[in-house]
Amino acid sequence: MWDFSVITKDMENVMDVFQKGQVVKICAPMVRYSKLAFRSLVRKYDCDLCFTPMIVAADFMRSNKARDSEFTTSQADRPLIVQFAAKDSQTLADAACIVSPFSDGVDLNCGCPQRWAMADGYGACLINKPELVRDMVRQVRNQVENPNFSVSIKIRFRTRIHRDIRLTVDLCQKAEAAGVSWVTVHGRTADERHQPVHYDAIKTIKDSLSVPVVANGDIKNLKDVESTRQLTAIDGVMAARGLLANPAMFAGYEDTPLECVWDWVDIALEHGTPFTCFHHHLMYMMEKITSQQEKKVFNALSSTSAVLDYLNETYGSARLLFVSVS
């Protein structure tokens, strides 16, 4: 069960992050990866706001085990948005009420393109159901007692961008009328994976709404943050793969600095991060700073102790220098 005594921490209003005149820098909801330990890492490197991985609201409500494993936080883990996959209003509202004392808002996933999600009525299929999305936003707004608790949605575009952008705008405007706090737009359709981001369509949505709009897609460094702002006038950016490759990206580093690697080691060990997750994060982080031969050796390691031995043998002197300077 959750230890409520250590995870409650009041925040005046999560929307304050959008009032600073700067682009809000956000860690995206990533299955398996954007958990507490990784959120703790990116917060050290100028990440303004973090999302949990997507949680299926029905499973969350049905099972104590699911709640304990899927939603883990700490006193320092704020501001925090809990992202849910849901397909009916009351289940989403019930889940939001449970997490509301321990987070700053919930986000409805309307963009996950995975087949299982869409087959079950979750994720990107909701962009074709604007009235349902509107009702889900309204029910959360009506049933969570904290007026500062945010309700946001994360969407993709409907197919045939330029022909159907008006339908995506309509969805967003219905959500806005229901009380949505902000909208995150992944700049691709559900059918697109690595195609170019549709910045013009993001700008169309931004120009159509009064609430903040966040852009998601191909944010890999601070130059991308600035260029996206100039192209779209958005209020925030959300990064996923860019942060996996370089958790210090928002602090202005072009590649993952070694001190960030060591920070991850310390944080992951402190949180008892399972080896596979611990190792995978390091593989992403070290992709650009290791040779092909080093990758081959490192990626084949099979235990936490082996990883620690490798890091100490290869980068131990750099860590000693970093500690002495600090």
pLDDT digit string, tens, across residues 274-320: 999 999 999 999 998 888 999 999 999 999 999 999 999 988 755 54
Cβ neighbors of 235 (< 8 A, separation 6 or more) are 18, 23, 24, 182, 212, 213, 214
Q: Is 128 left (phi over 0), alpha (psi -120 to 50) or beta?
A: alpha
Residue keyed to tokens 């303004």:
48
| CA dist., res. 223 & res. 48, Å (int) | 17
- The answer to the question of whether 30 is labelled as a binding residue is yes
Residue keyed to tokens 């996933």:
109
Among 242, 325, 188, 287, which Cα is nearest to 26's? 242
pLDDT tens string 149-161:
999 999 988 665 5
How many C-beta neighbours within 10 Å does residue 191 have? 11
| CA dist., res. 37 & res. 116, Å (int) | 27
Q: Does residue 21 have a pLDDT over 80?
A: no
- The answer to the question of whether 31 is labelled as a binding residue is yes
**SS3 (DSSP) at 12:** coil
Calculate the dihedral angle through the C-alpha atoms of 173, 179, 184, 190, rounding to the nearest 10 degrees.
Answer: -60
Q: Does residue 105 have a pLDDT over 70?
A: yes
Cβ contact 250:47 at 8 Å: yes
| CA dist., res. 149 & res. 156, Å (int) | 24
Return the active site residues.
112
Q: Does residue 163 have a pLDDT over 70?
A: no
Residue keyed to tokens 């398996």:
32
Give the mean model confidence (pLDDT) for residues 30-58: 96
Cβ contact 213:193 at 8 Å: no
Structure tokens at 34: 């954007």
Task: Delimit the domains of the chain by residue range.
Answer: 14-251, 258-320
Helices (H), the chain: 4-7, 36-43, 57-62, 64-70, 89-99, 115-119, 130-143, 161-178, 199-208, 222-232, 241-245, 258-271, 275-285, 292-299, 304-325
pTM: 0.92
Q: DSSP state, 288?
A: T
CATH class of 14-251: alpha beta
Of 79-88, 122-131, 181-190, where does the model show the most confidence?
79-88
| CA dist., res. 5 & res. 8, Å (int) | 6
Among 13, 2, 19, 11, which Cα is nearest to 212's? 19
Predicted local confidence at residue 318, as pLDDT: 54
- The answer to the question of whether 249 is labelled as a binding residue is no
Predicted local confidence at residue 160, as pLDDT: 58
Predicted local confidence at residue 11, as pLDDT: 54
Predicted local confidence at residue 76, as pLDDT: 95
- The answer to the question of whether 90 is labelled as a binding residue is no
3 pLDDT tier (thresholds 50, 70, 90): very low
- The answer to the question of whether 130 is labelled as a binding residue is no
Q: Does residue 322 have a pLDDT over 60?
A: no
Q: Does residue 9 have a pLDDT over 70?
A: no
Cβ contact 49:27 at 8 Å: yes
